[in-house]
Amino acid sequence: MVEVHLDLSDPASHRVGVSLRLKPRLARMRLQFPGWTPGSYLIRDYVRQLEGLEVHQGDHRLEARLLSPACWQICPDPAGPELEIRYAVMAIELTVRTPHLDADHGFLPLAGVVLELEGERWSTHRLRCSLISGWQAFSSLPGDSSTGLEARDFDQLLDSPLEVGPHPEWTFTVADVPHRLVCWGGESGRGMWLLERFPDLLSDLEKVCMACCRLMGVERPAAEQYLLVLHLVDEGYGGLEHDDGTVLVYGRSNVAKAGGYRRFLQLVAHEYLHQWNVRRLRPVELCPIDYHQPAIVPSLWFAEGVTSYVDQLLPLIAGLSSRDDLLEDLGAELSRYRLTAGRSVQSLRCSSQEAWVKLYRPDAYSADSQVSYYLKGAVVALCLDLHLHAVGSCLAAVLQGLWCSHGRWGRGYTEADLIEAFAQRSADLHDRLPQWLQSVDDPDLDGYLNTVGLSLEPVAASSAWIGLTAAVESGQLLARRVQRASPAQQAGVMVGDELVGLDGQRLREPAQLAAALRAGELQELLITRRSQLRSLSICSQAARPESFRLVADPSATAQQKALQDRWLALLPGVTP
């Protein structure tokens, strides 16, 4: 048993006091701080926020010898008294992956707070919290935070983030499984805002959750109880999945936009579906998880891409959106994919394998050198689904089969297992799917869309193309993206250059630049770089599509329309 105590009684300091107590079993043991949190594939070096590490056994202070930046070695006496490890963590970064504590709330993903103790990973961890008056702790762990929340092992502890504060809480059930929604609104009282604006929210959440169950072919959720924590902030979007809950970030400004509530439900669907896909139906490379080293996972395209694809369809089968809504949302994603030049540079498998060093570390040139396994994975999932529907099967059947063969039993899958699961339903996918994963060539997206009477129509830009994105910052018009092999790059423009003038006319905003371009003509672009004026010759090209729209073909055949009906049902025999 490891006793974990978190002192959050001084939230204004942003400092979390941590105490770990246990009876040592080893004469030499390592204390190691996790480097990342599952679901977010980036080494985050949480140890940088640790301070004041001390180790005591009875009246004696033990030396903690540093072996690496996040690992210490101690030599306790197994026959001696209880061991206590004390330190503090600065909780100052507000994301779903990092600790944050202030006067309004606290959020602690415990990978960023609790040391892993050698020999104790599979021991019970009991968690207690000290809070200021009026606050309470919300966790998916069983028990009470003041007397003890109990995790069966270190893995469950790290998979159970802690939200604290004076927050409202609502409850609903999904197939008799209790669910809780806890909402922090950025300041006291604002957590009520979403439910006040959308009084059917709890009912809608239940419908989305049940749609996820139907997709997986099960009668009830995988979790025995489920906690949704929502950070409703001014701006933001994202989430992180856990076995028995999720943490979501959504901006009030997003809700106010057209389709904003629908996209919120899609975010819920995405993270809720993860309790199967990636949490329990897990890549073999994450069985078990190594919290200190990156695991190269070639199948993240399945874990995230498939989930990103179906999250747009789940509100539809839940009866909370329309086909027109789906065409709009799916079209926006397909447009983003078509406009991502990096898809011709990085394969889908490489995108998955290189997540640790690329996707979560973007720069101004990333869009030209990489593609997100979320985005291209969703495109491949769409093509797979339409391919399977054409032969009388569907993507849902593959998910359900993998759940029965792997997920239910905690058996990690390999990429070969995934390919075989698809090939069992369409033999030609045995060769076609690996090609989609390994190659930078696109699947036949237009051909697959045509099978269900849809097409992607280009929307032409209103100005000539130079492959340059500019923005006004501190009164200066700056180059923020320069596309690879574009006229702007060939002319010598770099990200960060100030765009001063074009053909002798002062530039002050992006619209001026766009309006002054003349395709096929050499023009003088005046820039400043590192305080030096430079004159560049630039020749723009004819306008290119600035986006694509997903539209229905008015001449679609009855066969195409019937296949579209089956596809949009998501599950065989169900019409939305």
Question: Residue 502 belongs to a domain with what CATH number?
Answer: 2.30.42.10
Strands 245-251 and 226-233, by their bridges, are parallel
Nearest to 147 by CA among 124, 169, 165, 129: 129
The dihedral built from the CA positions of residue 181, 186, 187 and 191, taken in this order, carries a sign that is: negative
Strands (DSSP E) contained in 426-576 are 454-460, 468-473, 476-482, 498-502, 505-506, 522-529, 532-539, 545-552
What's the pLDDT score for residue 188? 56
Do 194 and 328 have their domain in common? Answer: no
Last residue within a domain, chosen from 165, 184, 208: 165
Asked if the structure places residue 367 within a domain, the reply is yes
Phi-psi region at 456: left, alpha or beta (left = phi > 0; alpha = psi -120 to 50):
beta
State how far the Cα of 234 lies from the Cα of 329, in Å rounded to an integer: 22
Residue 410 burial (CB < 10 Å; 0-12/13-18/19+)? exposed
Asked if the structure places residue 283 within a domain, the reply is no
State how far the Cα of 262 lies from the Cα of 363, in Å rounded to an integer: 30
Domain that holds residue 532: 468-543
Last residue within a domain, chosen from 140, 165, 190: 165
Asked if the structure places residue 462 within a domain, the reply is no
What's the pLDDT score for residue 573? 42
Do 196 and 319 have their domain in common? Answer: no
Alpha helices by DSSP H, 305-439: 307-310, 314-317, 323-338, 348-353, 373-390, 395-405, 415-423, 429-438
Nearest-10 crossing angle of helices 415-423, 429-438: 140
Do 217 and 351 have their domain in common? Answer: no
State how far the Cα of 406 lies from the Cα of 205, in Å rounded to an integer: 28
Asked if the structure places residue 30 within a domain, the reply is yes
- Domain with residue 133: its CATH number is 2.60.40.3650
Asked if the structure places residue 519 within a domain, the reply is yes
Asked if the structure places residue 277 within a domain, the reply is no
State how far the Cα of 463 lies from the Cα of 465, in Å rounded to an integer: 7
Do 254 and 313 have their domain in common? Answer: no
Question: What pTM was computed for the model?
Answer: 0.95
Do 436 and 513 have their domain in common? Answer: no
Do 436 and 506 have their domain in common? Answer: no
CA count, 13 A, side-chain hemisphere, 184: 26
The position carrying tokens 């992607």 is: 456
State how far the Cα of 363 lies from the Cα of 179, in Å rounded to an integer: 39
Asked if the structure places residue 350 within a domain, the reply is yes
Do 216 and 255 have their domain in common? Answer: yes
Residues 6+ apart with CB under 8 A from 488: 466, 467, 468, 479, 482, 538
Last residue within a domain, chosen from 198, 232, 262: 262
Do 404 and 472 have their domain in common? Answer: no
Q: Are 126 and 58 in contact (CB under 8 A)?
A: no
Nearest to 221 by CA among 172, 171, 272: 272
Do 154 and 220 have their domain in common? Answer: no
- Domain with residue 205: its CATH number is 3.30.2010
Q: What is the pLDDT along the chain (576 residues), one digit of tens a residue?
A: 999 999 999 999 999 999 999 999 999 999 999 999 999 999 999 999 999 999 999 999 999 999 999 999 999 999 999 999 999 999 999 999 999 999 999 999 999 999 999 999 999 999 999 999 999 999 999 998 778 999 999 999 999 999 999 998 999 999 999 999 999 987 656 677 888 889 999 999 999 999 999 999 999 999 999 999 999 998 999 999 999 999 999 999 898 888 999 999 999 999 999 999 999 999 999 999 999 999 999 999 999 999 999 999 999 999 999 999 999 999 999 999 999 999 999 999 999 999 999 999 999 999 999 999 999 999 999 999 999 999 999 999 999 999 999 999 999 999 999 999 999 999 999 999 999 999 999 999 999 999 999 999 999 999 999 999 999 999 999 999 999 999 999 999 999 999 999 999 999 999 999 999 999 999 999 999 999 999 999 999 999 999 999 999 999 999 999 999 999 987 654 433
Q: Domain count of the chain? A: 4
Do 23 and 149 have their domain in common? Answer: yes
- Domain with residue 434: its CATH number is 1.10.390.10
Do 36 and 112 have their domain in common? Answer: yes
Asked if the structure places residue 281 within a domain, the reply is no
For Cα atoms 381, 458, 312, give the angle at the middle one, nearest 5 degrees: 30
Do 124 and 146 have their domain in common? Answer: yes
